[in-house]
Structure 1
Amino acid sequence: MGGRVLAAATVTVVLWASSFISIRSSGEHFGPGALAFGRLVVASLVLGAILLVRREGFPPREAWPGIVTSGALWFGAYMVALNWGEREVDAGTASMIVNVGPILMALLGGWLLKEGFPPKLMAGMAVSFAGAVVVGFATSGGGASSVLGVLLCLVAAVVYAVGVVLQKPTLKHATPLQVTTFGALTGAVACSPFAGQFVSEAERAPMSATLQVVYLGVFPTALAFSTWAYAISRSTAGKMGSTTYAVPVLVILMSWLFLGEVPGRLALLGGLLCLSGVAVARMRGKTPEREPERAPRDVPAAPLTTDSEASAEFTR
């Protein structure tokens, strides 16, 4: 990863971590489908305005199948499942379960996108997943989470992984802004059956909850998904997936700052494992030294000639 790619991935991870806190809070006033619809409508408006200013226009025909499929799965199904799951489990547990997605992402990327299975990537994922499990256990009160919530977060992880793998080849035909804009719009259309519920709940919800919906649409969706598309278009699905293991660590810190939940030692240990796994996955091996070129053994050497013979040959 270059400096810009790493910066884009960092912005994505931080904003996605904040979304777990906002979803947990605003979910008290908005249903899972209604919250996803409002978030995607805001994101579509923001991204559409940027697209018009930049005059990028519509993506080519080759990009539409991937945009529609990944938009319906990642923007639509993922957000509904995650919103529903966070009504049943806490934010730390949800972030841990969703982090199964990068493992599926790396496996699908290695198989379908021919990215391979580097040993350091797989080792880093194993370490980070162990840390994510520790974080989730520490923040869920010893595993007293709802089975329904766990299953919904697993569904979110699966559609998240499939959506990312489908998005990767699409970025060869369209720009990251085009893919993100029309992906969000596809997700909003898929969630349109919840439009009426969103309007009715928005009328009763406090202003703080409505502002959180706007925040989710502008920052964790419009901005973070754009920086993600930019980064993954210049990296691999496996490496980008490994960076999201830092999310549970940030979720703990944000829960402490905004929700008053003080992380325990076990949660901090899990967060350290998550970051260690990310570091292992991004390590580069030493470039093997090239051996000096040798002349083929079976090629006969040219016969030696004297100066007089060479001069005579030149004269002839």
Structure 2
Amino acid sequence: MSARYCSHCYALCAVLLWSSAYVFTKVALASFTPATLGFLRCAVAALALLCLAARRAKPAARDWPVFLLSGILGFSLYLWLFNTGQAGLTAATSCALISTAPLITAVMAAGLLRERLRPSGWLALALAFAGVLILTLWDGTLSLNDGIFWTLGAAVCISGYNLLQRRYAGRCGTLTLTAWSFVCAALTLSPFAPEAVRRFCLAPWTHCCAVVFLGLFPSALAYLLWAKALALAESTGTVAAYMFLTPLFSFLLGYAVLAEMPGPGTFAGGALILAGLALFQRGRS
């Protein structure tokens, strides 16, 4: 199996796991604040990944600044901004805003990593983003409040994280980089640990299960797969473009799990997203 094919598979699996985070985050926020939820999610992910990385060599001292910056951008700051923004926005608006991340990633990669996109690539990204807007806002309600700025900040953070993963995954190793980045993220959020533990002890078991699920699957497993995808990809944008699928997968999961019937916007927007991704990948081949 070629590295390029594996990269696509890893990215698809990661995005599918991320898509489940929207509904579980809404559930967990009924008992936790954005900061306490971010700490618990990072702590669960760190413990799970450290168990897998226990037999790996001790990280080099020069890699710790990378772990810290990666943990802040991709996890602690990102999750805090994302959770804060989602608390004040509709799911449709949140999905639409966070889906600007592939566009931001492409711009940052062009400027910092010299990964140039052809005109067809920019057209494909615009087409996919238009599909996201149609899918999320067809029947949804657009929220206009300060949650927009928090969520856009989260999109910038995850874009910076994508570039760090692309740059350093080969040097540090994907498992080592992801595991210790989560450790650093949990440490930066540790001031919220006492309150997080108190809320966890008082929360309904369903909310606690949502926290554990968020830590294990949309965090630990998804970010590990994402790191592998970025390490194997031909360019950062090739992987980042898959983030456009997140709202589509979220709607499909809602149908499969909650029997929420998709409307015309799901099919129209989904078709545009898939067409944009196909055009983007064809332009890279």
Which residue in 2 is equivalent to 1:299?
A: none
Residue 65 of structure 2 is matched in structure 1 by: 65
Give the match's secondary structure for 1:216.
helix
User: Structure 2: how far apart are the matches of 1:169 and 1:37?
Assistant: 26
Task: Name the amino acid aligned to 1:19.
Answer: A
| Count of residue correspondences | 282
Amino acid at match of 1:256: Y
- Counterpart in 2 of 1:74? 74
**SS of the residue 2:262 aligns to:** coil
The separation in 1 between residues aligned to 2:17 and 2:33, in whole angstroms, is 22
Q: Which runs of 5+ in 1 are unaligned?
A: 287-316
Please say if residues 17 and 218 of structure 2, whose CA atoms lie closer than 8 Å, have aligned partners that are also in contact. Answer: yes
Return the alpha-carbon distance in structure 1 between the equivalents of residues 208 and 29 of structure 2: 11
Distance 1:255 1:32 in 2: 23
> How far apart are residue 168 of structure 1 and its match?
1.6
Equivalent residue, structure 2, for 1:273: 272
Where does residue 300 of structure 1 map in the other structure?
none
User: 1:198 Cα deviation (Å)?
Assistant: 1.0
Q: Deviations over 1:246-299 (max 9, x none)?
A: 11101112233444543321233112211221111111477xxxxxxxxxxxxx
Following superposition, the deviation at residue 39 of structure 1 comes to 0.7
Asked if 1:164 is matched to 2:166, the reply is no
Aligned counterpart in structure 2 of residue 200 of structure 1, from 172, 193, 198: 198
Judge conservation of contact 2:8–2:239 (CA < 8 Å) in 1: no
Structure 2 spans left out of the alignment, 5+ residues: none
Residue 196 (structure 1) shift: 1.7
Choose between structure 1 and 2 for higher RCO, CA contacts under 8 A separated by at least 6 residues: 2
CA contact (8 A) 2:127 2:273 kept: yes
Q: Does the Cα contact within 8 Å between 2:7 and 2:239 map onto a contact in 1?
A: no
Asked whether 1:240 is paired with 2:239, we answer yes
Give 1:213 deviation, angstroms.
0.6
CA distance in 1, matches of 2:279, 2:64: 36
Write the distance in 2 (CA, Å) between the matches of 1:149 and 1:261: 26
Q: What is the identity, as a one-letter code, of the residue corresponding to 1:199?
A: V
| Cα distance in structure 2, aligned partners of 1:199 and 1:108 | 38
The residue that corresponds to 1:34 in the other structure is: 36
Shift of 1:29: 1.3
The letter for the 1-side match of 2:13 is: V
Contact 2:163 2:236 in 1 (8 A): yes
Following TM superposition, by how much is the alpha carbon of 1:209 offset from its aligned partner in structure 2, in angstroms?
0.8
> Shift of residue 136 of structure 1?
2.5
Kept in 1: contact 2:125–2:276 (CA 8 A): yes
| 2:149 corresponding residue in structure 1 | 151
Aligned residue in 2 for 1:11: 13
Using the size of structure 2 for normalisation, the TM-score is 0.93
Distance 1:279 1:13 in 2: 16
1:285–1:28 CA distance, 2 compared to 1 (3 A):
closer
In structure 2, how many angstroms separate the alpha carbons of the residues matched to 1:24 and 1:272? 27
Matches of 2:28 and 2:112, distance apart in 1: 37
Work out the CA distance in 2 between the residues paired with 1:190 and 1:12: 24
| CA deviation map 1:193-212 (0-9, x unaligned) | 21122112112211011011
The TM-score normalised by the length of structure 1 is: 0.84
